[in-house]
Amino acid sequence: MQDKAKKLMHISTYGCQMNEHDSEIMRALLEESGYQWTDNIHEADLVVINTCSVREHAEKRVLGLLGNLKHQKEKKPGLIIALGGCMAQNPEIQEFIRKKAPYVDVVFGTRNYHKLPALIKEAEETMSNVFEPTCEDEEIPGILPVHYASRVKAYVTIIYGCNNFCTYCIVPYTRGREKSRPPKEIYEEVVRLADQGFLEVMLLGQNVNSYGKDLEEDINFAKLLKMLDRIPGLARIRYTTSHPRDFTDELIDTIADSEKVCEHFHLPLQAGSNNILKKMNRGYTREDYFKLTEKIRQRVPGASITTDIIVGFPGETDEDFLETLDLVRRVRFDAAYTFIYSPRYGTPAAKMKDDISQEAKKERLKELNQVQNQITLEINQAYEGKTFEILVEGRSKTNSDRWSGRTRTNKIVVFDGEEDLEGKLVDVEIECARTWTLFGFLKNEQKKRNL
């Protein structure tokens, strides 16, 4: 029900889980300051755009949206537009907004999004634009209110920023330096989530295995996982993203011995050629990467391993690309998120000589996807006839008569069920496996687990 006295707000979110979670916080803060959510951007009195810069495509979508909002504001002059997230940190975008898009009222940063209600108020009171794109030097706020998008799983930020400076990547420039949240605060937040009935938490950071390096306490990511693994009521702990270079034996052992940390490893490979890995400043070789995955398979049987791969990095030869294909075939990933290299403003790779045509890059992407999809299908087919514990997330998006959930290995499973199963742990036998989804049937009554 809409409360007519309240102003309506809408937040458009692009990019990674970090942004999704920041938007959940902004929504809660804006609700506290009197706004009411609307799904319909056209009827909103306040539109917040939480942007992503990781590839050109993401930026183009935001620029398109800004064009539409310009027209919306012509019809409704009281409309407030606020732009934050990674694009807001780019000096070129800031210049563009000042000169070409002055209808954007507030520009805020990736480290001061919790001040958004105050910045909006300032813009309204002064009737002028407010520019505060801060990605550094902000005190990390304590536990903030969150409007959780799901009733089943919750995001928890554990570390902000990134210090890695992979040469293609914009993130260290948009999110600032690494800053870990105190372990006690994370622990308290997760206890509270478990008490509220969330069965799964996803720990967030651009490089979660750097966690704790900047803190004085005797803590690292493995130790944090050990602490959280003991929290009663919680069933599953996930994390993203972990860097292959920092994936220590201590961490593998901790995950192997833990009860709640899921048997899913997302380890962005980026490229399978040592020459390209070096140019990317990734800090590992193809041999290191392969050894790491072998170790994981030995210590955590049945684990799934997924990855990110970039094709067409400047100077990537046919031979380099074949090495990527070769490693993909050897490691046998459960899934890969694959991208064509996109030059990013201000990064070292953007200045490197790039003489591969866009056509050739598209061909490489197609070939890589073909190889990977076949492997994904084969791995998924091995799930057929077996039973897995599924955490039910809600109705299936493609067929609302059915339920959808995930295995601990992060495979999406769709199945029938009469009663309300959202947020339940159930056993499902897999009948038919496709590349992106497994289909199965409910094995027994709801599992009674003593969590």
Q: In the complex, which residues of this chain contact ligand SAH (CB under 6 A)? A: 54-55, 168-169, 171, 206-207, 241, 243, 268, 270, 308, 310, 339, 341-342, 344
Give CA angle at 391 (423, 154), nearest 5°: 65
According to CB under 6 A, which residues from 346 to 405 bind ligand SF4? none
172 binds ligand SF4 (CB under 6 A): yes
Residue of minimal Cβ distance to ligand SAH: 308
Tokens of 263: 């048997």
310 binds, among ligand F3S, ligand SAH, ligand SF4, none (CB under 5 to 8 A by kind): ligand SAH
- What distance, in Å, lies between the first and last C-alpha atoms of the chain? 37
Give the max Cα distance, the chain: 65
174 binds, among ligand SAH, ligand SF4, ligand F3S, none (CB under 5 to 8 A by kind): ligand F3S
Nearer to ligand SF4, 53 or 254 (CB): 53
342 binds, among ligand F3S, ligand SF4, ligand SAH, none (CB under 5 to 8 A by kind): ligand SAH
166 binds ligand SF4 (CB under 6 A): yes
Tokens of 261: 């940390």
User: Which residues, at least 6 apart from 206, have a Cβ–Cβ distance to it below 8 Å?
Assistant: 18, 159, 161, 162, 164, 171, 175, 241
- The minimum distance between CB 207 and ligand F3S, in angstroms, equals 11
172 binds, among ligand SAH, ligand F3S, ligand SF4, none (CB under 5 to 8 A by kind): ligand SF4
Q: What is the CA radius of gyration of the chain?
A: 23
55 binds, among ligand F3S, ligand SF4, ligand SAH, none (CB under 5 to 8 A by kind): ligand SAH
What DSSP assignment string belongs to 93-110?
HHHHHHHH-TT--EEE-S
165 binds, among ligand F3S, ligand SAH, ligand SF4, none (CB under 5 to 8 A by kind): ligand SF4
Nearer to ligand SF4, 66 or 169 (CB): 169
- The minimum distance between CB 434 and ligand SF4, in angstroms, equals 30
Nearer to ligand F3S, 238 or 411 (CB): 238
85 binds, among ligand SF4, ligand SAH, ligand F3S, none (CB under 5 to 8 A by kind): ligand F3S
Nearer to ligand SAH, 132 or 288 (CB): 288
Nearer to ligand SAH, 160 or 198 (CB): 160
- The minimum distance between CB 277 and ligand SF4, in angstroms, equals 12
State the sign of the Cα–Cα–Cα–Cα dihedral 160, 161, 164, 167.
positive
Nearer to ligand F3S, 309 or 375 (CB): 309
Nearer to ligand SAH, 57 or 230 (CB): 57
169 binds ligand SF4 (CB under 6 A): yes
Query: What phi, psi does 418 have (nearest 5°)?
Result: -75, -55
- SS3 string of 70-89? HHHHHHCCCCEEEEEEHHHH
d(CA 44, CA 9): 5
Give the side-chain half-sphere CA count within 13 A for 7.
Answer: 17
Q: How far is CA 422 from CA 199, 388, 429, in A?
A: 11, 17, 18
Which one-letter amino acid corresponds to residue 69?
L
> If you search the block for the tokens 């309506």, which residue do you land on?
8
User: Which residues, at least 6 apart from 57, have a Cβ–Cβ distance to it below 8 Å?
Assistant: 342
10 Å Cβ neighbour count for 401?
8
Residues of this chain that bind ligand F3S (CB under 6 A): 15-16, 18-19, 52-54, 85-86, 170-171, 174-175
Q: Which of 174, 207, 258, 376 binds ligand SF4 (CB under 6 A)?
A: 207
- The minimum distance between CB 78 and ligand F3S, in angstroms, equals 29
Q: Which of 13, 164, 220, 342 binds ligand SF4 (CB under 6 A)?
A: 164
Smallest CA-to-CA distance from 303 within 233, 218, 238, 368 is with 238
Tokens of 401: 């008569």
Query: What phi, psi does 307 have (nearest 5°)?
Result: -155, 170
User: What would the x/- binding string for ligand SF4 be over residues 232 to 251, using CB under 6 A?
Assistant: -----------x--------
d(CA 451, CA 125): 51
304 binds, among ligand SF4, ligand F3S, ligand SAH, none (CB under 5 to 8 A by kind): none
- The minimum distance between CB 207 and ligand SAH, in angstroms, equals 6
Tokens of 431: 């009948």
Q: In what order do the strands lie in the sheet with 200-204?
A: 153-157, 200-204, 236-240
206 binds ligand SF4 (CB under 6 A): yes
Nearer to ligand F3S, 18 or 390 (CB): 18
User: Which residues, at least 6 apart from 186, have a Cβ–Cβ distance to it below 8 Å?
Assistant: 156, 158, 203, 224, 228
**Segments of 400-445 assigned E as strands:** 403-406, 412-415, 425-433, 438-442
Nearer to ligand SF4, 341 or 383 (CB): 341
Residues that bind ligand SF4 (CB under 6 A): 162, 164-166, 169, 171-172, 206-207, 243
